[in-house]
Structure 1
């Protein structure tokens, strides 16, 4: 009997991590409150060109269909499994016009207002597909390398080891059996990866290269007039310390005047300090070529849709989930206008090192001058509503 009791005790102890994981997977993200809402109460619901969001919805549904039904959706655990979304995606795939899309959304989804404590407001920024000039050969002009992922770089999803660390990642390289931090931007810029053949191509501007690291994807104009697509492959594991913060600390740019455009202007006006400032951000991104005209991919491993894909903090929101955003954005044609209303259906399809917080998002604006102008100046207040399949929404609300 004592042997049997000991055997049962061992089984219980071995099962505790699994039970804890299962429990945490079903819990709502810490610090967030969700409340049922009605579609008619979403700001701008009747005015949004909903069909512009259909490509983003279909791209996520294509991914949802091919993943095993029992696997959990990526990001915050409140999204259940891929199988929980199959019925709604089947309905999305039959949409033919705005009326039918509205019918699918109102039938299969429940909008949930999201707040951190009692505060529903947060900050929403923008990003874009950068344009650079480059060459496959290093020359006197094209001398700034874009690197492919080093083979020794190990990226670790900590959530696979500890449920409490879900959504957190680190990266490094293994030395003497231990995972050690990888080289920082400063080390890499000073030659840590030199003479290893990791260069994909070379561009003509260290500033443009830095902005590409921040944006994550871009197009490189080659000497023959063709475009070479470049996309995110990996990151060195160091936390983002965007140089805008450093320039504010230096008194170079006032906080109220901070924007991507202001950063570019200061760097152009102060070339002797440019590299020292760039090196203060230890984060460094590695890239991969994008072939056959593919657009940039988000963390959800789908091609992003301009104006409809949203980068979120996956600790708080699930990837592939529809989100109703109510915020504003700068007018790309008039720098004096900072708040053009932005009320629309979006899909959470990306993440980013600087996208951290309960009410936080980064709107993907696509490629071109307008996209860069909006993204460079956008840091606007707003809020969002998460759209969950009805059964998952009911289950989440039962926890309150």
Structure 2
């Protein structure tokens, strides 16, 4: 048996010790939490048997469902304080966690290829096989992706091969867009809005990955001395690619990871992108976490100084968030990607976020983290490649 949060330091704290706790908008956090509760009530945990946090969340969700839909901020705060205990959490030998940001972009495109729109966004290929984790359940951000060749499973094509036409007859395009860099960042974010010539907007969301490793190209630009670390952002990466087209194309191909999309017909115009929990994300309240460690629906309180102000000015970010997504770069007990919404402004803010932060995990009061244990996972086959599930990730050097 393994501890509830292996490779982590977890210490009890008090709600009164959380900076900005009393001033937060708990009603918004409650709305995001109850949205997660709908999924928790309908579906089982990602692993079997259910993890202790998942089992403990279910009765809390049942009580949340009996509260008024438009709950007051005071009652929402009282709900969280009654149902949960706060614990600071960090990786071993690290004082803080690490935060990045992501968003949903909007680009112009077409359902039909043309001279203007010639960059494809692919649907999930029919020959793609994504393995299930040991013990069953849906694929995780460490699941492998394969195709069959002469009856044997081999690793799926990487980015360069796909761009060079490796999909062949398996390549079905859901939309054509103008800029290869926009396609690249849509892969990183895991979703995109494509505005068609007639004004219709296609909402595209993650629908599979190629299992190849994710390489943050921002880190490559820093290592090559092309962009100073202190000036690294998503805007800086875009500027380099735009100014150096051949080098930019080769740089993007260094990230072998590639994802496939589906049209999210279920989304309303004002809904956020669909996260890995299968729900529309809430801007400023949804985070992506390492789902191998954390359960979707778990509340986290984040305390950090982030460049969310005018022209990147640093501001306190003290907010109750709900874990509703995951991503290939989101690995570890105190690692989160903050969803900032859709559009250019959200993208500018999200691209600046690469900062330390204090993580406070809200655990159901029924749980004692010192005593709770989870089954150790079965060893993975040695030949299985490390794979990534970029449902929603940010560009992290």
8 Å Cα contact 2:98/2:334 also seen in 1: yes
> Where does residue 88 of structure 1 map in the other structure?
60
- Structure showing greater relative contact order (alpha-carbon pairs closer than 8 Å, 6 or more residues apart): 2
Give the paired residue count.
Answer: 366
8 Å Cα contact 2:27/2:77 also seen in 1: no
8 Å Cα contact 2:54/2:295 also seen in 1: no
The structural deviation recorded for 1:195 is 4.5
> Where does residue 99 of structure 1 map in the other structure?
74
Matched residue of 1:301: which SS?
coil
Q: Does 1:285 align with 2:259?
A: yes
Give the whole-Å Cα distance in 2 for the aligned partners of 1:76 and 1:131.
Answer: 38
> Where does residue 11 of structure 1 map in the other structure?
none
1:300-339 equivalent positions in 2, closer than 5 A: 300-331=277-308, 333-335=310-312, 337=313, 339=314
Give the whole-Å Cα distance in 2 for the aligned partners of 1:203 and 1:140.
Answer: 10
Matched residue of 2:160: which SS?
helix
The structural deviation recorded for 1:133 is 1.0
Q: Which runs of 5+ in 2 are unaligned?
A: 374-397
The structural deviation recorded for 1:152 is 1.3
Matched residue of 2:161: which SS?
helix
Structure 1 pair 39/76, CA: closer, same or farther in 2 (3 Å)?
farther
8 Å Cα contact 2:26/2:74 also seen in 1: no
Q: Deviations over 1:316-356 (max 9, x none)?
A: 32221111111232135313x2x211111111111101112
Matched residue of 2:328: which SS?
coil
Equivalent residue for 2:109, pick from 127, 131, 134: 134
Q: Does 1:216 align with 2:190?
A: yes
Give the whole-Å Cα distance in 1 for the aligned partners of 2:6 and 2:151.
Answer: 34
8 Å Cα contact 1:158/1:167 also seen in 2: no
1:39-188 equivalent positions in 2, closer than 5 A: 39-67=15-43, 71=44, 73-74=45-46, 79-80=51-52, 82-93=54-65, 94-95=67-68, 96-160=71-135, 168-188=142-162
Matched residue of 2:38: which SS?
helix
Higher helix fraction (1 or 2): 1
Structure 1 pair 245/192, CA: closer, same or farther in 2 (3 Å)?
same
> Where does residue 33 of structure 1 map in the other structure?
9
Matched residue of 2:276: which SS?
coil
CA RMSD of aligned residues (A): 2.3
The structural deviation recorded for 1:179 is 2.3
> Where does residue 19 of structure 1 map in the other structure?
none
Give the whole-Å Cα distance in 1 for the aligned partners of 2:59 and 2:80.
Answer: 12
8 Å Cα contact 1:332/1:373 also seen in 2: no
The structural deviation recorded for 1:399 is 5.8
| Larger CA deviation: 211-220 vs 118-127 | 118-127
Matched residue of 2:311: which SS?
coil
Question: Which has the greater radius of gyration?
Answer: 1
8 Å Cα contact 2:123/2:171 also seen in 1: no
8 Å Cα contact 2:104/2:192 also seen in 1: yes
> Where does residue 384 of structure 2 map in the other structure?
none
Q: Which runs of 5+ in 1 are unaligned?
A: 1-22
